[in-house]
Amino acid sequence: MRTEAEAAGPPLEPGDFVQLSVPIIQQLYHWDCGLACSKMVLRYLGHLDDSEFESALQELRLTRSIWTIDLAYLMRHFGVRHRFCTQTLGVDKGYKNQSFYRKHFDTEETRVNQLFAQAKACKVLVEKCRHVQHQRQ
């Protein structure tokens, strides 16, 4: 039996890449890029039945305003092991004046901050991470 590290092969070096056969799923609206990406990941992992996905969206109330923390809860719902790294543990106030967020920012701010606050209890792994830039050689 091989260990996980052995199965993964040698570590990747800068400039290496891995190509996966991830299905392409087109966005339906201008605001659902995160949902389309989530659907691609779930389908790639074999966790996706369209009716299950739609049921999960309704259960999690992901209907029109989707934040990245929502996607972390969606992955958790489907049992996908992941870690959500973010520079801000909560809503970034910088989005308040962007046209996409402006109309519902105040109500969304409360909802999204609540999701961050409940993440640990809901077994959603969220970490505050600093952006790391790779040096070119």
DSSP secondary structure string for all residues of 86-134: ESSSS--GGGTTSHHHHTTHHHHHHHHHHHHHHTTTTT--EEE----PP
Tell me what pLDDT residue 18 has: 81
Residue 137 placed within a domain: no
Q: Which long-range contacts (CB under 8 A, 24 or more apart) does 113-121 make?
A: 115/67, 115/69, 115/70, 115/73, 116/69, 116/89, 116/90, 119/69, 119/72
Tell me what pLDDT residue 136 has: 46
Average pLDDT by stretches of 10, the chain with 137 residues: 54 78 89 92 87 92 88 95 91 81 82 94 92 50
Tell me what pLDDT residue 31 has: 82
Tell me what pLDDT residue 80 has: 93
Tell me what pLDDT residue 137 has: 42
Residue 134 placed within a domain: no
Q: What is the count of structural domains for the chain?
A: 1
Q: Residue 102: CB partners within 8 Å, gap ≥ 6?
A: 96
Tokens matching residue 15: 């400039």
Query: Which structural domain, as residue segments, surrounds residue 88?
Result: 32-128
Residue 18 placed within a domain: no
